[in-house]
Amino acid sequence: MKSYRIALNFEDGVTRFIDCGATEKVLDSAFRQRINLPMDCSDGVCGTCKCRAESGSYDMGDDYIEDALTQDEADQGLVLTCQMVPRSDCVIAVPVPSTACKTGTAQTAATVQDVVRFGDAAFELVLGCGPDAPSFLPGQYVNIGVPGTAQHRSYSFSSAPGSASMRFLIKNVPGGLMSTWLDGAQKGQSLQIIGPLGSFYLRPVTRPLLLLAGGTGLAPFLSMLEVLAAQGLTQPVHLVYGVTRDQDLVRIDQLENFASRFPLFTFTTCVADAATKHPRQGFVTQHMQPDVLHAGNVDVYLCGPPAMVDAVQKHFVVQAIQPAHFYYEKFAPTASAVATAHQEPAL
């Protein structure tokens, strides 16, 4: 029987994937897979199971009453999972924590396939999970347990969903717990990953995109770009990639490959160090040209340290720029968890 992959993204950032039959309602499918989505009547009367469909196509039928879901709500993408039958893979935002639905984060054993070092700037950790590799949305992250400790660190996937290996771009922090372990990591070593997590992920593309990356905040955009490339770019996509030092610019070869294959993709790099030899000195906010902002008709995605996120927000206010949507995620290299992404929709 044909089925579709449904991503349930809970308000605490936990994402669980379920398989839903082509004639099955999402609520029934979730219960079958031991995820208790909010519900009361299950007949399209109470509205308790109301969620937001963020992508995908589906059929709602006409067996629910307007008190449960108004036409205005339906036009805005709200759905009743007790009535929703998917017609494609979908992403559904569930407005309660995962714990309220008696589910939680998935845990998977992974094996080190390779560790690539980019000087003193960063590592690329390559992991394999075989058939148990977790599903995720491009832009999401996992918590990776540091072997030999009870601690974990959070890193965004830089590989696309469904890839043969999982890749993570990790800042080299001198003396850092994960960096120290990566310095001596051996192929075949095992570790635990928890996730996927996070509400910073690629939404359906309906207008131009502006991607803003700070340092290893490039990672989720590499994942997004792989997905966009596979789909075929239909809108212009521009990436501004800013770092502190010249040697922090990594994976430029991958960006150049995207640009050579897809004329709709362009990128700009810049270095903050005043002594840089790079042709573009300064911060990301100094290298966002008006043409990539499309007079506000643009969806902006930003992943970088808190100071960068704050600077971009201030820049938009000062310049009276109001993107159609603004999604961002703050991170700190030594933090044990990545901050939940924030969305600023159009007013």
- Same domain for 220 and 258? yes
Residues 217 and 341 in one domain: yes
Same domain, yes or no, for 90 and 185? no
Looking at the fold, whether 126 and 223 belong to one and the same domain comes out as no
pLDDT of residue 338: 44
Sign of CA dihedral 145, 151, 154, 158: negative
Residue 191: give its domain's CATH number: 2.40.30.10
215 with 295, same domain: the answer is yes
Whether residues 213 and 329 fall in one domain: yes
Please tell me the predicted confidence (pLDDT) of residue 334. 56
Domain assignment of residue 25, yes or no: yes
Tell me whether residue 203 is in a domain.
Answer: no
Is 138 in the same domain as 256?
Answer: no
What pLDDT shows up at residue 302? 96
Beta strands 265-271 and 342-345, pairing class? unpaired
- The structural domain count of the chain equals 3
**Joined tokens for residue 250:** 């990594």
Residues with Cβ < 8 Å from 310, sequence gap 6 or more? none
Question: How far apart are alpha carbons 138 and 9 in whole angstroms?
Answer: 13
Burial 294-311 (b: 16+ CB within 10 A, else e): beeebbbbbbbbeebbeb
If one counts every other C-beta atom within 10 angstroms of the C-beta of residue 337, the result is 15
The reply to whether 248 and 323 lie within a common domain is: yes
How far apart are alpha carbons 133 and 130 in whole angstroms? 6
Task: Note the pLDDT of residue 337.
Answer: 40
Residue 63: which CATH number? 3.10.20.30
Same domain, 37 and 151: no
Instruction: Give the CATH number, domain containing residue 330.
Output: 3.40.50.80
Q: Cβ–Cβ contacts within 10 Å for residue 152, how many?
A: 19
pTM: 0.87
Is residue 216 assigned to a domain?
yes
Q: Is 268 in contact with 254 (CB distance < 8 Å)?
A: no
Q: Which residue type, as a one-letter code, is found at position 311?
A: A
Q: Which of 139, 167, 197 is the last residue of a domain?
A: 197
- Establish if 184 belongs to a structural domain: yes
| Residue 294 belongs to some domain of the structure | yes
Judge if 296 and 176 occupy the same domain.
Answer: no
DSSP 165: S
Query: In terms of domains, do 96 and 173 share one?
Result: no
pLDDT tens digits in sequence order for the chain, 347 residues long: 789 999 999 988 899 999 999 999 999 999 999 999 999 888 888 899 999 999 999 999 888 888 889 999 999 999 999 999 999 999 999 999 998 888 888 889 999 999 999 999 999 999 998 777 888 999 999 999 999 899 999 999 999 999 989 999 999 999 999 999 999 999 999 999 999 999 899 999 999 999 999 999 999 999 999 999 998 888 999 999 999 999 999 999 999 999 999 999 999 999 999 999 999 999 999 999 999 999 999 999 999 999 999 999 999 999 899 999 999 998 765 554 444 444 554 43
Domain assignment present for 323: yes
Q: Using the structure block, give the residue that is written with the tokens 């991607």.
A: 211
Q: Domain for residue 16, yes or no?
A: yes
Last residue of a domain, one of 176, 197, 218: 197
Parent domain of 174:
107-197
- pLDDT score of 134: 85
Q: Is residue 231 part of a domain?
A: yes
Domain shared by 269 and 310, yes or no: yes
| Domain final residue pick, 175, 197, 219 | 197
